[in-house]
Amino acid sequence: MTRKAKILRKTKETTISAEVNLDGKGSYKIKTQIGFLDHMLEQLSKHSLIDIKLNVKGDTHIDLHHSTEDTGIALGEAIKKAAGKFKGIKRYSSALIPMDETLTRVAIDISGRPYLIWKVNLKVEKLGEMDTELFKEWFQAFSQSAGITLHVENIYGENSHHKIESCFKALAKTLKEALTVDKRIKNSIPSTKGSI
């Protein structure tokens, strides 16, 4: 079973090509035109073992909102497409990820029912050139398009870079686990409804 997908998303605001391999090795080639977002998505690829190729051209001369949000949409769509009918996946996962003084918890359900709980407070307005309010927008767009129930909670921490990076790393670890195929149920969908 090949769990790969390619997405092309084109609007008046952005043009995005996204390619994923859910059974990869965490290799990546990411160019969003937003340095800090590139860094976070590289973490996502590396720690989830999902190979990601992502190229984004957007209206960054206006601001970074459209490129950030649409990147979440395209990556979520690609992962959902690559997962197919979700046969055999473990479906649920949670992770508690430290980064220096920071601790973040993420829990996911690959349910087909998108929902985001976001409990992350940041003290600064920008990280690099990126408005910190855009991180919630990215996670919201990703959870919606991937069809994932996603709870993200920064339990404690001081440094905003550490807080956000621990969110992406925790998401990576939960995706790695939840998308893993359990050989005992490899031909079965993990729901009593018979579909996700």
Over residues 133-159, the pLDDT tens digits come to 999 999 999 999 999 999 999 999 999
Superfamily designation of domain 4-185: Imidazole glycerol phosphate dehydratase; domain 1 (3.30.230.40)
pLDDT at 43: 98
Q: What's the chain's average pLDDT?
A: 96
Q: What is the mean pLDDT of residues 157-169?
A: 98
Task: Decide if pLDDT at 1 tops 80.
Answer: no
The confidence score (pLDDT) of residue 108 equals 98
Q: Which residues 6+ apart lie within 8 Å of 94 measured at CB?
A: 105, 106, 107, 108, 174
Residue 186 pLDDT grade (very low, low, confident, very high; cuts 50, 70, 90):
confident
What per-residue confidence (pLDDT) applies to 187?
85
Work out the percent of the chain whose per-residue pLDDT is above 70: 99
Classify the phi-psi angles of 26: left when phi > 0, otherwise alpha if psi is within -120 to 50, otherwise beta: left
Question: What SS3 class is residue 97?
Answer: strand
**Domain extent listing, the chain:** 4-185
**What integer pLDDT is reported at residue 195 of this predicted model?**
81
